[in-house]
Chain A
Amino acid sequence: MAVWLTLVIGGGFLIYIPEIPILEQTARNIFFHVPMWMAMFAMFATSCTYSIRYLNSPNPQFDIKAESAARVGMIFGLCGLLTGSLWARFTWGTWWTFAEPKMNLAALAMMIYVAYFVLRSAFDDEDKRAKIAAVYNIFAVTTIPFLLYVVPRQLTSLHPGADGNPAFSEITAAELRFILYPAMLGFIALAFWVYDIMHRYQTVRYHINPEQDS
């Protein structure tokens, strides 16, 4: 995984890319900005899966896994927002714009997940916390496709993928895909590795001190 991602990052800088006005070299950002969101989706999907499994059979291990995955997803979402903001500054001319639905809805999605952690911290009782957090998490994950796929596509936007266009269509140059798809794979793998470390840590801590939530 590490070698793969190293090659991807190197390749992302080195390969020849077609010239696109305004974007110029920042077209390479697609190799880093877009996989952040893909990694976030993968983490939130994992988190949701474990929340459903928790409701099926209330095993604290599932709750720990759901929480860890949501946490790692947040980190990648934060990376996505920050990189998007920097990219916007030099191509759209502003750090943040409220005329851009995808940007604002992505921030809203982050807020929904912030609420997940706030909700967790509001309970002292472990079973209650796990159960309510699981229910909320399933609600939170259902908003993600609407906030980041369905609604932005109905509105005009500076982002690719708006105004009824799919984001990855003939407008994405073929050369970019050679790195983009491996980059998505690499960063999703990185996210799973961080998640693995995270939930193992949480599990160990749970066995030492079950009362405390992070």
Chain B
Amino acid sequence: MQIDSTAVDTLTKAYSEVWAGQESVEEMNAIVAFMYSNDLIYVVLGVTLIIWSVLLFFMIRVDKKVASLEEKLNSEEP
């Protein structure tokens, strides 16, 4: 009986020793470690900041639209 013991992990051999994602993980480490610190409280901060920035972005856009409307009105009536 022949046991095929060579057919393991051909992918790593075929490409390289280093996985593509590995480098970015190393890079991210400082930020990720910061997020994990203090029982993950900074994740909560991140979540609130996301909500704040999306709403702020939306309101600024509405503000600009209103401004352009005002401009149009002013230019129509001298």
Smallest beta-carbon distance A73→chain B, Å:
12
Whether B43 pairs with A87 at a CB distance below 8 angstroms is yes
A90 contacts across to B, CB distance below 8 A: 35-36, 40, 43
Complex-state Cα separation, A201 to B46, whole angstroms:
31
Smallest beta-carbon distance A94→chain B, Å:
12
B58 contacts across to A, CB distance below 8 A: 75, 194
Whether B47 pairs with A83 at a CB distance below 8 angstroms is yes
In the complex, whether B62 has a CB less than 8 A from a CB of chain A is yes
Considering only residues 59-73 of chain B, those with a C-beta below 8 Å from chain A are: 59, 62, 65-66, 69, 72-73
Smallest beta-carbon distance B25→chain A, Å:
12
> Chain A: interface secondary structure?
helix
In the complex, whether A208 has a CB less than 8 A from a CB of chain B is yes
The number of chain A residues with a CB under 8 A from chain B is 28
Whether B43 pairs with A197 at a CB distance below 8 angstroms is no
Complex-state Cα separation, A197 to B50, whole angstroms:
22
B66 contacts across to A, CB distance below 8 A: 201
Whether B59 pairs with A194 at a CB distance below 8 angstroms is yes
Smallest beta-carbon distance A14→chain B, Å:
12
5 closest A-B pairs by beta carbon, nearest first, are A24-B39, A25-B41, A25-B39, A83-B47, A28-B44
Extra 15 A-B pairs, beta carbons < 8 Å, given A75-B58, A86-B50, A90-B35: A25-B40, A25-B44, A28-B41, A29-B44, A75-B55, A78-B54, A86-B43, A87-B43, A90-B43, A91-B43, A194-B59, A201-B69, A204-B69, A205-B65, A205-B69
